[in-house]
Structure 1
Amino acid sequence: MSILNLGIVAHVDAGKTSLTERLLFDAGVIARLGSVDAGSTQTDSLDQERRRGITIKTAVATFGIGALTVNLIDTPGHPDFIAEVERALRVLDGAVLVVSAVEGVQAQTRVLLRTLRRLRVPTLVFVNKIDRAGADPDRVIGQIAGAVPMWREHEEQLAEADDEALAAYLHDRKIDVGRLTAQARVMPAYQGSAITGAGIERLTGAIAEHLPKAPQDAGAPLRATVFKIDRDRAAYVRVHAGTLRVRDRIGDEKVTAIDGRDRLGPGEIGRVHGLRRVRLGDTIGGGQAHPAQVFAPPTLEATVEPDDPARRQDLHRALQQLAGQDPLIDLRLDEERGELKVSLYGEVQREVIRDTLAEDFGLAVGFGETVTLHLERPRGRGRAGVVRGRDGNPFPATLELLVEPGEGVQVAIAVPVEHVPMYVYKTLQHFHEAIERYVRDAFARGGRHGWDVGDVRVTVTRCGYEAPNTTAADFRKLVPQLLTRALADAGTVVCEPVHRFAIEGPANALTATLAALPRFGAVPEAPEAGPARFTAAGTIPAARLAELERALPGLTHGEGTVEAGFDGWRPVAG
């Protein structure tokens, strides 16, 4: 059996969910076509999705193309829910990028294009809405570098992809488009309408013919990825290699059930029960436990309070549960002020969290002003430690931590295994995982200035215990105390998020635009100017981007556009 795990990605309102609906209908999975406007689509099952007409949570549906089984993964298009798209990209064999024939390539389209290329995800382009007034599919295809309309007259363009394709073209042989697509050298482009069904049969044929199928390696060691977690803690898992069976033990947990089956083989996706401690993005079996983040982290934060002060604990538990379903809803407690804060991508996400708390948990809440998140980094190296039985240390444990600048949050163990209480942690790997958890929990409470601590490396340089009195709780309580002291020793610097921007506008507006950029804290680079248009790029503090967007129409006579994406963190001036 051949399996293809297919993602549908797009800028919001390009017709992504409508295409999903059309594919399911044409395959006979659903009896009638649903409508996004009417809130009757198969994959937008949440009440909020139906009301808002947008996808919020990744949904999975299955259909067949001949002998091929396609697990279709419908992802959100709104940028506030980019974290859902990130998790889907980790489990795909291929993708369809949907672009509107009317609006063309939009800001989110460009973000997705860059990411699909960087991750080398085999991709087809579907230019949708050709039935709408103002549609210009040829113009849209021309906006996407690497997209090749799949008609005979474009084989010369395909031949430029590599030497093998050129040889096939010169000898009048068929070019292997599937190979070029699988290697992410080209993105075959199709056009049609998800509403009328025009062009869908051709797209379906290309999905089966040109996108690579999931590798079938049932005899290999298990390797699987968790890409979605439901409210009941059931985990959606994609198996890359090996087999996951009911009653398999994963760490100290056991798979108790898999919806509709007793095992998942390579390439298969299933809803797995019993793994209540897994987190989104976790790898089950071999492989990297937490792969590098694909998209930018959220850069906004807001305080949330229950309308009824007596329900603060209920709110805390509800937000913890939501954060378990989406780790980029980063929840932190400002202990000094006693405030609960959540990190956000934007205002729509904030509204969704508010409505979810009301509808699913019966909690009416209010949000404070949305502010820009900052990050604390260590300035240098700092060290702190305690020895059991000395200097008033109340814990029967020895622990020393070294803090220094790093990338992300890294934890290393630099002590002999015999210095670790193996009767508590069983393996050095379990000790490492526990210390990393304690470190991340401590940093999430805020550093010396109250912000999350990041870009830091923490190394355990000394460890000791007193059997059988030492427990895991001793290390759990020591870690945050020692980190506070080590950070004070290292010093920290507060950093603000910075976006990279690109402005396009009419050539006669270049001088005014460049002169205005410093007002917004932007640092421009040398512009590119042509006879009709200019492009100016640079960096700008995330908190000032909205000001630039509001000012741009006046600077460019209403003809300018700006794209921006997270570029990193930089120290706050002064």
Structure 2
Amino acid sequence: MNTRQLRNIGIIAHVDAGKTTVSERVLFTTGEIHRTGEVHDGNATMDYDPQERARGITINSAATTVAWRGHQINLIDTPGHIDFNIEVSRSLRVLDGAVVVFDGVAGVEPQTETNWRLADQYHVPRIALVNKLDRTGADFARVVAMIAERLGVQPLVLQLPIGQEAEFAGVVDLLSMQALYWPPNERGQPTLTRAAIPANMQQAAEAARRTLVDLAVEQDDAALTAYLDGQAVPDDSLRDCIRKGTLTRAFVPVLAGAALKNKGIEPLLDAVVDYLPAPEDRASDLPSGDGFAALVFKVVHDEHGTLSYLRVYRGEAHAGTQVLNANTGQRERLSRVVQMHADRREELALAQAGDIVAVAGLKNSKTGHTLTDPAQPVLLEEIHAPEPVISMAVEPRSREDQDSFSRGLHTLVDEDPSLRLGQDDETGQTLLSGVGELQLEVTLEKLRSRFGVTVHTGQPQVALRETISRPAQVRHLHKKQSGGPGQYAEVVLRIEPLERGGGLLFESAVTGGAIPKEFIPSVEQGVRRAALAGVLAGHPVVDVRVVLEDGSFHEKDSSTLAFEAAGMQAFTQAQRSAGPTLLEPVMDVEVTTPMDHVGDVIGDLNRRRGHVRSQDQRGNAAVVRAMVPLQTLFGYIGSLRALTAGRASYTMQFDHYAEAPRQVPAHA
């Protein structure tokens, strides 16, 4: 099809903002399904995994395709829980636009902010839907203000809600200046109808329309000139201006609705078609050419084999086409091409530029790999997974399960790049690491349900880091002579602390050929190897600048191996002189609690070494936001429920590493 009529979009939000309900209503409204499923009933189309239905949350991103106004919309519903944020990250990497769903009561929540920053990172244009406006405490204007304040963007309000909370009846469309309602038809299904704007809203609607036009016409010189001359701006011209501003991210269009009641879905679909980009609207850094180029953004394994999800950026490929994996240099064959409708597959003859499809038959392609025409090779930017902050020792309950245990874990880690497998050096146990307790819990349940393996687990452990607290300089000579060729390498290293999040930086300040240029990368390699295990307890070393200042070499006995060894030994020696210290992960925690339990919640957070940053009121509840060390949060949900008679809830996400107090054990 003409890619001008194609939209690749994602639906993203904080957990429980109503993302999957919006997706279900989109499927129903476009005729893709004929009966809506509900998240709370465990029968949502897009939440097809048994764990998703049992837990009432989205764990896996799910893709589907719908049609609206002659356009094909490839839609990805993503998880809202921080533990599964890799699904959001890799989806945004391949999408052209996004719908961000906000809870009309809660407004901008922590995970919304995280997802928003991810979308900024990938330069994804967005439209916003303020959902759940029929709920007690919903406040459209307050959410719009939060979007401006917390996300630092210009909201462009396209609709005003008619009524509030239980009285929410519809919306005023500020482009057509009509009221939109959804009364039930003879089958009891909500049906879009248009009417005059209620008299008591006419003045507010006219003021909001003027604000909308003022902002929109700035995107087009001709429209702005005509507007300043007092001419009316035609609706088509206004839509063009809104589209331009959305694509350049000058503003974010904001719509209103209540997805559970099927109110607001048709205008949302119209906005997707009218304002979000077609594939060619997104700037591409691909070199010119017509050869096939696609990015693998997700890999899943099931009883039928391996299924790899692709975003095609250039060219086309048929089932049976041979492609080159640009990351590995290996050839792969696309045995089948399918379009996904959640867990249902539809065979396609080919995959072409702009498509989001799944292919079977890839054996050695991982998430983030580029598949390309061997005659016109290209390498696309990879997808980066977050670093784990929590690990757990796992082992099969019976020795007979060892093979299934190993195969299952490697399969699950292959599917989720934010998981890691390692080994405890002291006990030899397998360590499963990830970004949160829920993620590890879900992974072990998948191991049981999909591979028939039940495991013993150790206590969760946080992923500590090591750093230094002061500068140090060392001169180290690596010299060995044992009959044959000798080893000689001398280096002078200076190390100094960096700001948190600075990583490990290596620089060379060697002058005058004291160390030949070909040996300097070997020194860096040695430093980076040594930094994998610090001197305090073997944790990775971060936030350190390493400067190679001087050294010496031997004409015959110097080698890359000798300088790598010298770099390792010098860095380890320098750490010991630089005040090594532990860093622990600190989480951004948001607790929503009834007002009468605020004191108990804050006192408990303080006992957990938490630092309360803010306290707000949201409806009849209090929202406490704090920075809390992850080490103190294991089992927090049970404690919180006990403190508040089960009435409070919380979310948390990794924020930063901070220096750990001396009482934190080095092997935590």
Match of 1:204 in 2: 269
Report how far residue 551 of structure 1 moved. 9.9
Correspondence 1:5 to 2:8 = yes
1:487 maps to 2:584: no
2:155 paired residue among 133, 147, 163? 147
d(CA) in 2 for partners of 1:559, 1:550: 12
Instruction: Choose from 586, 592, 604 the match for 1:498.
Output: 586
Partner of 1:449 in structure 2?
Answer: 537
Q: Is the 8 A contact 2:293 2:313 kept in 1?
A: yes
Q: 1:364 to 1:253 in 2, by over 3 A?
A: same
The answer for the alignment partner of 2:75 in structure 1 is 72
Q: CA deviation at 1:96?
A: 1.0
Q: 1:465-476 counterparts in 2 under 5 A? A: none
Which residue of structure 2 lines up, in the alignment, with residue 63 of structure 1?
66
Q: Is the 8 A contact 1:385 1:482 kept in 2?
A: no
Aligned equivalent of 1:255, options 332, 357, 370: 332
Gaps of 5+ in 2: 149-153, 159-172, 175-204, 339-347, 372-377, 554-558, 663-668
Q: Is the partner of 1:81 in helix, strand or coil?
A: helix
* CA displacement, residues 483-504 of structure 1 (integer Å, 9 cap, x when unaligned): 5774355445421113457899
CA offsets, 1:492-528, max 9 Å, x none?
5421113457899999999999999875545678999
Tell me the distance in 1 between the aligned counterparts of 2:22 and 2:477: 58
Partner secondary structure for residue 21 of structure 1 = helix
Give the equivalent residue in structure 2 for 1:281: 368
CA distance in structure 2 between the aligned counterparts of 1:503 and 1:160, rounded to whole angstroms: 39
Alpha-carbon shift at residue 300 of structure 1 (Å): 2.3
**How far 1:213 moved relative to its partner?**
1.1
C-alpha deviation, 1:338, in angstroms = 1.1
1:32 maps to which residue?
35
Taking structure 2 as the reference length, the TM-score comes to: 0.66
State the match for 2:199 in structure 1. Answer: none
Give CA deviations for 1:86-123 in whole Å, capped at 9, x if unaligned.
11111121111122335544333343345445654221
Quick one: which amino acid aligns to residue 271 of structure 1?
A: A
Partner amino acid for 1:259? V
Change in 2 beyond 3 A, CA 1:188/1:163: closer
Residue 267 of structure 1 is matched in structure 2 by 354
CA distance in 1, matches of 2:517, 2:294: 29
CA distance in 2, matches of 1:394, 1:34: 75
Deviations for 1:444-503, whole angstroms, at most 9, x for unmatched residues? 78876133444568999999xxxxxx9xxx99xx98998577435544542111345789
Provide the rounded CA distance (Å) in 2 between the counterparts of 1:353 and 1:559: 28
- CA distance in 2: counterparts of 1:55 and 1:444, whole angstroms: 34
Distance 1:290 1:410 in 2: 22
Structure 1 unmatched ranges of 5 or more: 421-427, 464-469
Counting only pairs closer than 5 Å after superposition, residues 185-224 of structure 1 correspond to structure 2 as 185-215=250-280, 220=288, 224=294
**Could you tell me which amino acid in structure 2 is paired with residue 70 of structure 1?**
I
Tell me the C-alpha RMSD between the 2 structures: 5.2
Q: Which moved more, 1:248-257 or 1:52-61?
A: 248-257
More divergent stretch after superposition (104-113 vs 192-201): 104-113
CA pair 28-376 structure 1, distance change in 2 beyond 3 A? same
C-alpha distance in structure 2 between counterparts of 1:106 and 1:280, whole Å: 29
Q: CA deviation at 1:356?
A: 0.7
Q: Distance in 2 between matches of 1:505 and 1:353?
A: 30
Q: Name the structure 2 match of 1:229.
A: 299
- d(CA) in 1 for partners of 2:36 and 2:45? 9
| 1:503–1:66 Cα change, 3 Å | closer
Mapped pair 1:157 → 2:211: yes
Q: Distance in 2 between matches of 1:270 and 1:396?
A: 57
Amino acid at match of 1:249: L
**Cα distance in structure 1, aligned partners of 2:410 and 2:565:** 20
Question: Contact 2:295–2:380 (CA<8 Å) still a contact in 1?
Answer: no
**CA-to-partner distance for each residue in 1:523-556, whole Å, 9 max, x for gaps?**
6789999xxx999988543334689999999999
Structure 2 vs 1, CA of residues 137 and 22 (structure 1 numbering), >3 Å: closer, same or farther?
Answer: same
Q: Report the AA paired with residue 230 of structure 1.
A: V
User: 1:204 Cα deviation (Å)?
Assistant: 0.8
| Structure 1 Cα separation of the partners of residues 537 and 572 of structure 2 | 11
- Say which of 427, 431, 434 aligns to 1:337: 427
Question: Which whole-Å CA distance do the structure 1 matches of 2:130 and 2:79 have between them?
Answer: 18
Query: 1:293-344: per-residue Cα shift (whole Å, max 9, x none)?
Result: 6xx6442222222212454454344322212211211222112221222223
Task: Report the secondary structure of 1:497's partner residue.
Answer: strand
CA 1:254–1:385: 2 relative to 1, 3 Å: farther
The separation in 2 between residues aligned to 1:143 and 1:213, in whole angstroms, is 29
Q: Is the 8 A contact 1:5 1:92 kept in 2?
A: yes
Residue 382 to residue 514, structure 1, CA distance change in 2 (3 Å): farther
After superposition, the Cα gap between the structure-2 partners of 1:126 and 1:554, relative to the gap in structure 1 and judged at 3 Å, is same
Partner of 1:248, secondary structure, is strand
Offset, 1:211: 0.6
Offset from partner CA, 1:242-280 (integer Å, 9 cap, x none): 556621222422231151456543322222445544432
Residue 74 of structure 2 aligns to a residue in which SS? strand
- How far did 1:167 drift? 5.4
The answer for the alignment partner of 1:425 in structure 2 is: none
Secondary structure, aligned partner of 1:259: strand
Is the 1:378–1:403 contact (alpha carbons within 8 Å) kept by the matching residues of 2? no
User: 2:92 corresponds to which residue?
Assistant: 89
Letter matched to residue 281 of structure 1: G
Kindly indicate whether residue 391 of structure 2 is the aligned counterpart of residue 301 of structure 1. yes
Please state how far the C-alpha of 1:73 moved relative to its aligned partner.
Answer: 0.6
Aligned to 2:465: 375
SS at match of 2:40: coil
Is contact 2:530–2:571 with CA below 8 Å preserved after alignment? no
Paired amino acid for 2:297: F
Aligned pair in 2 of structure 1 residues 536, 304: CA closer, same or farther (>3 Å)? Answer: closer
Distance in 2, matches of 1:400 and 1:250, equals: 41
User: What is aligned with 1:423?
Assistant: none
Question: What is the CA-CA distance between 1:193 and the residue it aligns to?
Answer: 3.5
Deviation for aligned residue 1:203: 1.0
* 8 Å Cα contact 1:332-1:444 kept in structure 2: no
Q: Residue 70 and residue 416 in structure 1: after superposition, are their counterparts in 2 closer, same or farther (change >3 A)?
A: farther
Paired residues, number: 547
